[in-house]
Amino acid sequence: MDNSHSISPFLIGITDFCLLNISFFAMNYWTQGTWEFSPAYIKLLMLFYFIWFFISFFTKKFRFASYRSYAAVISLYTRSAVYTACCASFVVVMMGLPAFSRLHVLVIWFMMAIQEVLIFSVYYMTIGESAILNDEKEDIGARQEANYSIFLLLTDFLIVGVSFFIINYLKTGSFGLRPQYNQLLLVIYALWLITSLTTNKFARRPFQNYYHSTWPWLKAGILMVGIMCVTIFAYRLFHFSRIHVFGSIFLLIFFELLLCRVYSLLTHNRIRQEDIESVENVKGLLKQKNLSLETDFEKLRLLLLEPVRKGLQEKYLRDYPRLFDLIDQSLDLSEIIQAEMTIINSNDMFHIKTIDGRPVRLLINLHRTNNIRWINRYFLEVHNVLVSGGYFVGRTHTIATHREWLFKKYPKHIANTISIIEFCLNRVLPKLPGLKQAYFAVTKGRDRVLSKAEVLGRLCFCGFRIIAVKEIEERLVFVAQKVKTPSLDQSPSYGPLVKFSRVGMSGGNIDVYKFRTMHPYSEYLQQYMYEKNNLQQGGKFKGDFRITGLGRFMRKTWLDELPMLYNWIRGELNLVGVRPLSYHYFDLYPSDLKELRNKVVPGLIPPFYMDMPKTFDEICESERRYIQAYQKQPIKTQWVYFLKAFYNIAFNGERSN
């Protein structure tokens, strides 16, 4: 899209607001014969402002990025007019306000839409065509012929009638319909058909999860309520019971959500393709001819000895050019032959187990890691089939890529709401004791929310080294190499309390406890972080993606270190002393400083806050000065360092980076 001629959301909003007022004033003059408003119509105008603003955000009318083609813009303005008319009618009908002019409540929105189309047409024909012309083909190409489920259509047809008669029984105590209510049932069936065709809710399409699959059904229900309100208001059908009318529709929506859930469980959200069984189909597809039974096996063997690069680029990854470029840049594909490569698109570990018995140097799985129930077992199976030094390529939908996708698909406020709900369901529940088993029993491990740090950490835990990582088409792609045996750690931490192995006095091991501030399995990325990010001022890793948003807050306020008081009570830590280091970080220190560190007990408050060193060498010198002073006067040194650290933290606002 050409951004040179794009329009700001503010300008679109102001223009649309002016058109709303012009339409309302013009309609008031037409219906009332005056420019003056009665108090009731002033309140109506305020209500229209609210409805217009809400629907505009919902339909992304203010976002120029939504203007993908001329046809898409016309569709956007039309949908916006229909939605606002439905919402306005809903309020009028539910509040029982039939006195308002139908022209004022309904026609105003379509007057406004006509003005919007005229203004945009002038813009499009003058300077705006180049801004959206590039997206015309993409918009047209995205339309696909729907494949409808007859089972869903017939079942939903029956549910419409069942819902109507249930409400009728609750309202009257009988299944018999009162006069004119048979006509109401026909109106509901007509609206059901219109909204079903409009939203394509019976189409068999793959969805990422249950919530996405229900969205067309919810849209159809909401649209049905809105059009019913317009119908009642336009034809003055206020004599019908609102409980009967809207109770039937809301009960229908409830039953439809249950139907959608059952259907998704039965089909696993997969489009089942029909098998080719008839002779005509086989002939049509294969152009069936007699085959030669003399196979040149020597030629086949030579094909298996060819490098994989050409096959990956022209055949296997033809639809994934950016993925191929990443692999090609990260690996020497001329050194890997066809017989040493396996490429699959599956979350079933059975496919991995069947590879056992032949050497594999490159394994590519195009299926998302999120749908694999036992991720560590899966990585270990991959580790088992690869030769030493072999490569593993995979794809994952991470928290970051999912959030990016979510905010592209929905308006900001709706995306934030969905994000909070998914955070509670998919990130909090699996980590709570007792609920973890229930969560995986229901979801079967599908559509798990994984962080970048957790995926890469699990790979390192299972004996891989990360070669390359890149976000491609809202997926995180990784290239890993088998370089080690899997970790012997029997219980890697996944809960809110984390246990770290640290170097204690005399080089012994101490288990230090902290509240989790990083994503799970982040501790196994220590070597990767040092190689890729190096150290910044203060001795911490620069741009540490392993830390969560809550974790950053806890680190700034030292809440994460509260469990370390347990180590202090046990005598494993002093109140003041050199910080207990991980074994990897400890190996970075000079040999003489390692010997000095082994002679003292680590502490909660490091000497860092005494002189605030900036570089790694300065940190080493700071610790060396502290240890030397401590060895001469232990008590005095601890008091001096404690008071100075307290002053720097409390009054100078010093923090570690």
Beta bridge partners of 341: 362
pLDDT at 395 over 70: yes
DSSP state of 396: E
Predicted pLDDT of residue 142: 42
pLDDT at 620 over 70: yes
Of 200-209, 306-315, 372-381, 618-627, the poorest mean pLDDT is in 200-209
pLDDT at 273 over 70: no
Predicted pLDDT of residue 138: 43
Cα separation, 2 vs 129, in Å, equals: 9
Cα separation, 256 vs 199, in Å, equals: 14
Among 218-222, 309-313, 438-442, the range with the most confident prediction by mean pLDDT is 309-313
Predicted pLDDT of residue 417: 81
Confidence band, pLDDT 50/70/90 cuts, at residue 540 = low
Q: Do the Cβ atoms of 620 and 614 come closer than 8 Å?
A: no
CB 137: neighbour CB atoms within 10 A?
A: 10
pLDDT at 61 over 90: no
| DSSP string across 36-89 | ---HHHHHHHHHHHHHHHHHHHHTTTT-GGG--SHHHHHHHHHHHHHHHHHHHH
Place of tokens 């490429």: 343
pLDDT at 254 over 50: yes
For the segment 176-180, the average pLDDT, to the nearest whole number, is 78
Place of tokens 């959608």: 260
Superfamily of domain 306-398+450-482: Vaccinia Virus protein VP39 (3.40.50.150)
For the segment 39-53, the average pLDDT, to the nearest whole number, is 78
Confidence band, pLDDT 50/70/90 cuts, at residue 269 = very low
Q: H or E stretch including 91?
A: helix 70-94
Beta bridge partners of 398: 450
SS3 529: helix
DSSP state of 336: S
Q: H or E stretch including 257?
A: helix 242-267
SS3 346: coil
Predicted pLDDT of residue 139: 44
pLDDT at 290 over 90: no
Answer with the residue of higher pLDDT: 414 or 399: 399
Cα separation, 519 vs 393, in Å, equals: 22
| DSSP string across 467-525 | EEEEEETTEEEEEEEE-SPPP--SS---SSEEEEEEE-GGG-EEEEEEE--B-TTGGGG
Predicted pLDDT of residue 542: 64
- The number of residues in the chain equals 657
SS3 313: helix
**Cα Rg, the chain, nearest whole Å:** 33
For the record, the structure tokens of 657 come out as 């980076």
Report the mean per-residue pLDDT for the chain.
78
Percent of the chain with pLDDT over 90: 7
Predicted pLDDT of residue 541: 63
Predicted pLDDT of residue 1: 47
For the record, the structure tokens of 619 come out as 């940190």
Cα separation, 217 vs 46, in Å, equals: 31
DSSP state of 604: E
For the segment 79-91, the average pLDDT, to the nearest whole number, is 75
**474: amino acid identity, one letter:** E
Beta bridge partners of 476: 396, 471
pLDDT at 140 over 70: no
For the record, the structure tokens of 335 come out as 């050194």
For the segment 113-141, the average pLDDT, to the nearest whole number, is 65
Predicted pLDDT of residue 393: 94
Q: Where are the alpha helices (DSSP H) in 331-426?
A: 350-353, 375-385, 399-409, 412-422
Answer with the residue of higher pLDDT: 115 or 91: 115
| Residue partners of 128: CB distance under 8 A and separation at least 6 | 5, 7, 120
pLDDT tens, residue by residue, 326-363: 999 999 888 888 888 888 888 877 777 777 667 889 99
Of 50-54, 430-434, 458-462, the poorest mean pLDDT is in 430-434
CB 380: neighbour CB atoms within 10 A?
A: 17
Burial of 143 (0-12, 13-18, 19+ CB in 10 A): exposed
Confidence band, pLDDT 50/70/90 cuts, at residue 136 = very low
Predicted pLDDT of residue 208: 55
Predicted pLDDT of residue 373: 80
Domain ranges of the chain: 9-124, 150-268, 306-398+450-482, 401-443, 497-652
Predicted pLDDT of residue 272: 44
Angle at which helix 210-234 crosses helix 70-94, to 10 degrees, equals 60
Of 131-145, 316-330, 552-566, 622-636, the poorest mean pLDDT is in 131-145
pLDDT tens, residue by residue, 462-498: 999 999 999 988 889 999 999 988 887 766 666 778 7
Cα separation, 22 vs 27, in Å, equals: 8
- Which among 165, 191, 161 is positioned nearest to 177, based on CA atoms? 165
For the segment 625-652, the average pLDDT, to the nearest whole number, is 85
**594: amino acid identity, one letter:** K
Q: Do the Cβ atoms of 365 and 394 come closer than 8 Å?
A: yes
- Which among 507, 511, 512, 540 is positioned nearest to 526, based on CA atoms? 540
Cα separation, 146 vs 205, in Å, equals: 8
Q: Do the Cβ atoms of 574 and 627 come closer than 8 Å?
A: no
SS3 317: coil
Of 90-104, 549-563, 624-638, the poorest mean pLDDT is in 90-104
pLDDT tens, residue by residue, 423-458: 777 777 766 666 666 666 666 667 777 889 889 999
How would you classify the pairing of strands 509-515 and 497-503? antiparallel
Predicted pLDDT of residue 534: 60
- Which among 201, 199, 185 is positioned nearest to 153, based on CA atoms? 201
Of 230-239, 343-352, 627-636, the poorest mean pLDDT is in 230-239
pTM > 0.85: yes or no: no
Predicted pLDDT of residue 222: 83
pLDDT at 655 over 70: no
Predicted pLDDT of residue 480: 94
Percent of the chain with pLDDT over 70: 80
Cα separation, 566 vs 604, in Å, equals: 11
